[in-house]
A and B are shown apart, each in its own frame.
Chain A
Amino acid sequence: MPPRIMIAILACALGAQAQAPVDYQRDIRPILAKRCIACHGPDEHGRQANLRLDTQEGATGKSGGYAGIVPGKSAKSRVYARITDSRRPMPPVGPRLSPQEVDLIRQWIDSGAPYTNHWAFERPRRPVAPAVSDPKWPVVEFDNFVLARLDKEGLRPSPVADRYTLARRVALDLTGLPPSPEMTAAYLKDTSPEAYERLVDKLLASPQYGERWARVWLDLARYADTQGYEKDNRRTIWPYRDWVIRALNSNMRFDEFTKLQLAGDLIPQATEEDLIATGFHRNTMTNTEGGTDDEEFRDAAIRDRVAVTGQVWMGLTLGCAQCHTHKYDPISHKEFYQFYAFFNQTEDSDKPDDRPALKLANASTLILKELPENQRRKTHILERGNFLTPGEEVEASVPAAFAAFPKGAPRNRLGLAEWLVSKENPLTARVTVNRFWARLFGKGIVESEEDFGTQGTAPANQELLDWLATEYMRLNWDGKAILKTIVMSATYRQSSNATPELLEKDPTNRLLARGARFRLDAEVMRDQALAVSGLLSKKMYGPPVMPWQPDGVWQVVYNGERWITSEGEDRYRRGLYTFMRRTSPYPSSMSYDAPTGEICTMRRIRTNTPLQALTSLNDPVFMEAAQQLALRTLRETGKSESARAARMFQLVLARPPEKEELRRIVSLHREVKKDLARKKASAEKLLHYDRTLYKADLEETVIADARKEGGGWRYATEDPGDGWLDAGHDDAGWRTGRGLFGAFENEERQKEVATSWETDTLWLRHEFTASERKLSDFRLQVKTVSGFEAWINGISAAGSPQERTGYYEYPITSAAERAIRPGRNVLAIRVVRNHEKKSGQSFDAGLVATRPPDFGKAGRDDADRASWVVVANAILNLDETLTRR
């Protein structure tokens, strides 16, 4: 290894400990807040020595009090003298300030004792775009801020990504799905300069856009389909999820989106939709365990609403102020409860029935509802955050440090919402565009998306963030427009390929000299596998669904609720429709870092674990996708091995493979095929993989029984003589009837009988045609209180001497199955009453078989076809597949 690199890394490792200049917000304010402000702070009554240290005017005596600090001169400052006093040190109680703390204060005073406001608490100003080294590079104004920064570092932006990469990137980002082959083809064909923009517009207009960005929002809304806590019973709140999807697809402006979710019920003439929107804050958990105090958990829910509102809109950790004044940010204990007061007037309490709810045509969904005027609650500061120890009463208000409450706005949730989205609010636009940025670039400009306070990470490029925030407000909170602005930029369109130089200089890509590359979200990963294999259902909205999951994972202690795999296309819906149980989340999503809905998740921390590899390699859902991807490839492609390999690769990755990649895929196919040629059973299992998951779904009726209103049996009650069971036998003289055959004494049971049969023996024949698509796994479904024997085309197929209750399935012998020919076949059955006639006798039968997979014209070589399933499993697990680059 070159020594230069080693030194660089060492320097980087040590750099973390190097001294940075003293920062008032980071270094000094916490010391003052913790050790000084209680006696020398804003509280006039308790103030000691007429000294105030939380403002510069106070500390320097400019506001008339005692001058404790002489800016620039620690030696002349009484504050410094007293904290270093050996006999009577300040503070008078508690341990002395540490030598490090004393030193920080000395440095700070010597540097002029600046009292700076935290950057994020000042309103963003629109920065002027700086001049850049390459004026042709920027596409959007904010590109200038990125390039200016690169200029400063002596870096060049990366070239624009190739069109395949760009199409997949922007489709995954905007819709959470890979581009369809048609979409990519149309984009590649379009050589006009507007081609990319047209693609972006198409994606933003697609309904899948709303689904993708709803999932992003639902992380914040701590959305789940259950109540949480111990019992974690099911609740109906999916209409809220659907509301979010519709709101995003109709491009509802973010200010409106905010007002409806926080206060849709308070809007004059609120519509049903406006009420559903308030489900946002009804996603709090409900505890119905024995002996719980309803007020305790109502209080917990209100606090959660306060904390989540602060987090989602302003990136504030308001929750820190519930027990005491915030240690770092300007939010007092009292202000927390003033904020709390806005949310304290709703009807919902911690009750199992989850009232109030809104009755809809097909469901009943949870909503917020304000208490009537005469039932309003009083709000008190809760001492040390304990609901049992209420203190001073407070009125609804917002923390003073950020923006004034809008004039004329009502002092309720609606007014609060107006305050959040007022253009005076320094945080909402920044936090929101930062979230957009983070979903498009893998991390935010402020990496700590959840904390814009003084303890959060500093913005990588504040001008860039402020430009975007002001632009978002200028566009009147138009979400699609700001997303379009970002994805149209030169910054976004850069190739994500990294050179060793860039990796060394900027390993985490804070400077944006290249495009972003990051692992897909859990839902996107699953949706992608379903989409490329052709399984994905485009059905939108409605109650949550239960796709396949392993037995035994879903264990419910109290309510007996079961995981019953959904039917038909509901198995293949997008991930955001999967039933979300807080205490038993969908296992494959969990291993890929999806949230459980217990808390508001402002960002998902991506991990890389072997359990993830096991999931995407072995989870039957992914394996079924591999099988279907193989079938799709076989159906859609000619017989050449490399054409198939290339097609499959391109279906998944939306780009053609490189030559060496193609060679490796073909060689994998050959190795596997050689192997499977010797393992017929394995090949069979791989080809019919879906059968192991849902056999019944793939069933095809060959001869319908009475349940399916079948008929057309030829029957005889007297011995028809030799040869009656052969296909060629002439049964023209037989009678015609349909099941149930038999006779009963009991009148009720007799009603089921369609054809009377009272003799000892019954002979039956039924013709059937085997279609071109070869069916397999034939089963006879029989209901009888007698013994029977069956033949197909004269070959013994099934039989039983005993009676069974209800319809019972008998597999057809393999000899009989082999005897089934395309065209006309005959099933022949002899039923023999094996007991003395007691109360009656009956018989009915039907024939079913399993539909084979559709191989198109793929030939009949099982080993060859099955090996494509293995290849698909590999391609679905490539790093590039799991990644957006």
Chain B
Amino acid sequence: MTPELQQLREFTRRHFLERCHLGLANMFLASMARGAASGPDNPLAPKKPEHAPKAKSIIYLHMAGSPSQLELWDYKPELQKYDGKDCPQNLLEGKRFAFIKGVPKLLATPYQFRQHGQSGAWMSELLPNFAKAADDVCIIRSMTTDQFNHAPAQLYLHTGNPRFGYASMGAWATYGLGSENQDLPGFVVLVSGGNNPDGGKSLWGSGYLPSVYQGVQCRTQGDPVLFLSDPEGMDRGLRRKTLDAIRDLNSMQERRFGDPETQARIAQYELAYRMQTSVPKVMDISKEPDSMHKRYGTEPGKVSFANNCLLARRLVENGVRFVQLFHWGWDHHGSSRREDIRYDLPGKAKVMDQSVSALITDLKERGLLKDTLVVWGGEFGRTPMRENRGGSYGPWVGRDHHPYAFTMWMAGGGIKAGLNYGETDEIGYYVGRDRVNVRDLQATILHLLGLNPYRLSFAYQGLNQRLIGPTDEGRIMKDLLA
């Protein structure tokens, strides 16, 4: 066993000794002596958090490509005035953009903004449903990141490092807390929008952590989990018979060879068998009432963001710790009609507005919102300038990548509802006050889950690797906490 797993085991064992009364502890030790002395105990067994968690589960809605905050959340009347004017030089000096060349023009939003709810949150007309949830969410308009390209920015956000090979937030949460439902994966990933996010599967990978903690991608078409269905011709009855024989033969071998790992293997095969029933059950939204489908805009059997939102609720309801959604297609550069903020964004926003609002309401009605943290955002923001790819303007309108200011929102478990946090400057270029960096977001999320972001670490390559990186700059944002 690796030292890491050893540590893990040590942790679980101590945790049991501390928490369980003697009978249970005895049982646990008995099973260790019999079977698992050198085999891994279940590394996904629930673990005690460092402090009482505010959020038991998290639904992280990542809009891959990065939606424009200036069309949705961040109202800038000044920018309207400067529409079509050259961007001031001092905002361009020493800056690197993905596509902008030379001096671009400032760009007003074509959408109307209004204030909503008690909190007076500004939102654009593209969010008619979400506007009604204004008092349930905390909108952070002062987000910043260090990366201005999709893959590095997504990796930085989800794994704490812009390069490949690091452990994702969901993997960290599962490593630190285990899984509540042993018949379902603890960390589920749902992807919509026609493509994987740019950072690929590394965004839910386990990096240097054992691969048991990586996210399990569930799908709404075909097998919900890869290789979940029995092969053609093998029905449940035959599968059961096969597994019985495998168990019996493994037990014979364990008696002869004495390797406790064999017991662990038998257990995993039994869990796989249970997952074959439990996963399709939770993934099957066809039995949800019509009213629910109407509310979310779901269509069973399709791959859609709406379906994934409804699934997120079902998964959380069933004890899944970390549900990560990626919805691709928000990269509105204005280089084609499909990337135009006037022609494409409204459609994307409409779907998102409906399903996300439905999710918040649904969670609230079921009493799940109070201990489910919902996070929404892209990997960076978009420029207040109109993108001039190749140095000139064509027929389409869009904005380039912008790491210096963007908007995210959070709701539920432990978050102050109805809070408008942070501000950008008059044209939305820089953060004006109450800056929140991606590191702060990571620290805050781990904190809400009951983990200590500074202590949650894993020894690898001579360093104590952490989600929040090597320095302690990431802050738990007390202002955002309920």
Contact = CB atoms under 8 A, between A and B. Distances in A.
B482 interface: no
B200 A609 contact: no
Contacts of A170: none
Contact of A329 (B33, B152, B462): B462
Nearest to B219: A552
Interface in B6-41: 6, 10, 13-14, 17, 26, 29-30, 32-33, 37-40
Interface stretch (A119-127, A287-295, A754-762, A834-842): A287-295
B32 to A, nearest CB: 6
A164 to B, nearest CB: 13
A513 B113 CA distance: 74
B212 A880 contact: no
Given A447-B2, A664-B252, A878-B253, A623 B231 contact: yes
A10 B10 CA distance: 11
Interface in B269-301: 269, 271-272, 275-276
A555 B197 CA distance: 10
Interface stretch (B129-137, B259-267, B368-376): B259-267
Contact of B201 (A583, A599, A675): A583
A457 B222 contact: no
A628 interface: no
A879 B253 contact: yes
A28 interface: no
A262 B241 CA distance: 54
Interface stretch (B91-99, B311-319, B344-352): B91-99
A465 interface: no
A675 B237 contact: yes
A498 interface: yes
Contacts of B225: 611, 614
B151 A230 contact: yes
Interface in A396-440: none
A617 B461 contact: no
A290 B3 contact: no
B196 interface: yes
B245 A291 contact: no
Contact of B233 (A503, A611, A658, A682): A682
Contacts of B223: 550
B260 A289 contact: no
B233 A291 contact: no
Interface in B112-126: none
Interface stretch (A51-59, A665-673, A797-805): A665-673
A498 B231 contact: no
Interface string A649-668: 00000000010110011011
B99 A599 contact: no
* Chain A CB within 10 Å, residue with most, of B257, B262, B276, B401: B257
B268 A291 contact: no
A598 B202 contact: yes
A319 B465 CA distance: 13
B257 A498 contact: yes
Contacts of A552: 219, 221-222
Nearest to B463: A320
A8 B280 CA distance: 44
Contacts of A679: 235
Interface residues of B, number: 97
B258 interface: yes
Nearest to A292: B149
Contacts of A450: 460-461
Given A685-B232, A879-B261, A617 B462 contact: no
Contact of A686 (B163, B201, B234, B250): B234
Given A508-B1, A550-B226, A692-B232, A291 B98 contact: yes
Nearest to A667: B245
B245 A605 contact: no
Given A290-B98, A593-B211, A617 B29 contact: no
A618 interface: yes
Interface stretch (A88-96, A201-209, A720-728, A866-874): A866-874
A406 B254 CA distance: 54
A879 B2 CA distance: 20
Given A1-B26, A689-B231, A289 B246 contact: no
B222 A613 contact: no
B234 A873 contact: yes
A82 to B, nearest CB: 27
Given A660-B252, A679-B235, A692-B232, A879 B262 contact: yes
Given A230-B149, A317-B461, A508-B1, A607 B43 contact: yes
B462 A885 contact: no
* Chain A CB within 10 Å, residue with most, of B4, B242, B250, B401: B242
A504 B216 CA distance: 35
Contacts of B164: 228-229, 285, 582, 596, 598-599
How big is chain A's contact interface, by range? 35 or more
Contact of A607 (B26, B212, B245): B212
A499 B200 contact: no
B249 interface: yes
* Chain B CB within 10 Å, residue with most, of A6, A300, A326, A615: A6
B229 interface: yes
Given A13-B10, A583-B200, A873-B234, A507 B37 contact: yes
Contacts of B205: 596
Interface string A602-642: 00010111111111011110010000000000000000000
* Chain A CB within 10 Å, residue with most, of B216, B225, B258: B258
A319 B460 CA distance: 12
A48 to B, nearest CB: 26
Interface in A117-149: none
Contacts of B269: 610, 613, 617, 877
Interface in A196-241: 228-230, 232
A878 B246 contact: yes
B210 A885 contact: no
Contact of B234 (A320, A593, A682): A682
Interface string B61-102: 000000000000000000000000000000000001111000
Contacts of A883: 259, 261
Given A507-B38, A874-B245, A497 B258 contact: yes
A448 interface: yes
A593 B275 CA distance: 20
B52 interface: no
Contact of A289 (B98, B212, B461): B98
B199 interface: yes
Contact of A553 (B37, B226, B253, B328): B226
Given A291-B148, A598-B202, A550 B222 contact: yes
Nearest to A8: B33
A806 to B, nearest CB: 29
A16 interface: yes
B477 interface: no
A246 interface: no
B241 A665 contact: no
Given A291-B99, A320-B461, A885-B259, A620 B268 contact: no
A287 B149 CA distance: 10
B198 interface: yes
Nearest to B226: A587
Nearest to B276: A614
Interface in A5-26: 5-6, 9-10, 13, 16
A504 B233 contact: no
Interface in A37-83: none
List the 3 closest A-B pairs by CB distance, nearest first. A583-B200, A685-B233, A317-B462
5 contacts: A5-B29, A583-B196, A682-B233, A877-B246, A882-B265
Interface of B: 1-6, 10, 13-14, 17, 26, 29-30, 32-33, 37-40, 43, 96-99, 148-152, 163-165, 185, 195-196, 198-202, 205, 210-212, 216, 219, 221-223, 225-235, 237-239, 241-242, 244-246, 248-250, 252-254, 256-262, 264-266, 268-269, 271-272, 275-276, 328, 401, 459-463
